[in-house]
Chain A
């Protein structure tokens, strides 16, 4: 059986890739994908600990994380579509209407 450490390291690496993607990519769709990547890294940690501790709660929590991730993806992509319609660009740097 694969030790717990490996799962945690893989999850941390995926999460770090997601963080870097959010920070340095300049494309809203890629930023949303990176957020999904981070959520799924956390899901992997939940599952690994659930198996490790023999407790089923972790798997139930993963269901809720998935529901929230689906809602987030749907709303985020709808916002991306409407923003793209208004200004023909997906660069988050150009969205400064709320900047004081």
Chain B
């Protein structure tokens, strides 16, 4: 929820900030290209949709499944290195955004 709100506010802010007007001139070539690629994607996906073999029963949910404790145990035991890398990534993103969006004189 926090993530969705933050991303949405960010996009809204940029749209208001830039206020683009004369956009969206479609090109026939790109429509054709998009249509062909969409059809290829559909050819891959439709057999998956009509495949009606029922999967096995899911594992029964326990009380602690998906609880913050279980999540945190997994996050800080098996995924410590990705966690640290993600923190560095976010730091780089913050600095990069400030540098890129700064108005140069």
Contact = CB atoms under 8 A, between A and B. Distances in A.
Interface of A: 1, 3-5, 8-9, 12, 16, 19-20, 23-27, 29, 32-33, 36, 50-54, 56-57, 59-60, 63-64, 66-71, 73-75, 77-82, 84-85, 90-91, 93
A2 B19 CA distance: 42
Which of B23, B25, B38, B71 has the most chain A CB atoms closer than 10 A to its own CB? Answer: B23
A45 to B, nearest CB: 12
Contacts of B75: 60, 63
Interface in B80-105: 82-83, 86, 89-90, 92-94, 96-97, 100-101, 103
Nearest to B51: A5
A56 B74 contact: yes
Interface residues of B, number: 55
Interface majority SS on B: helix, strand, loop or mixed? helix
8 closest A-B pairs by beta carbon, nearest first, are A54-B59, A71-B93, A24-B34, A78-B100, A23-B34, A78-B97, A67-B86, A78-B101
B61 A70 contact: no
Contacts of B78: 57, 60
7 contacts: A16-B45, A23-B33, A29-B18, A56-B70, A56-B71, A77-B10, A80-B14
A83 to B, nearest CB: 10
B72 to A, nearest CB: 9
B20 A19 contact: no
Given A73-B11, A78-B96, A78-B100, 17 more contacts: A1-B58, A16-B41, A27-B24, A29-B20, A53-B59, A54-B58, A56-B71, A64-B86, A67-B89, A67-B90, A69-B3, A73-B10, A75-B96, A77-B11, A80-B14, A90-B18, A91-B23
A26 B48 contact: no
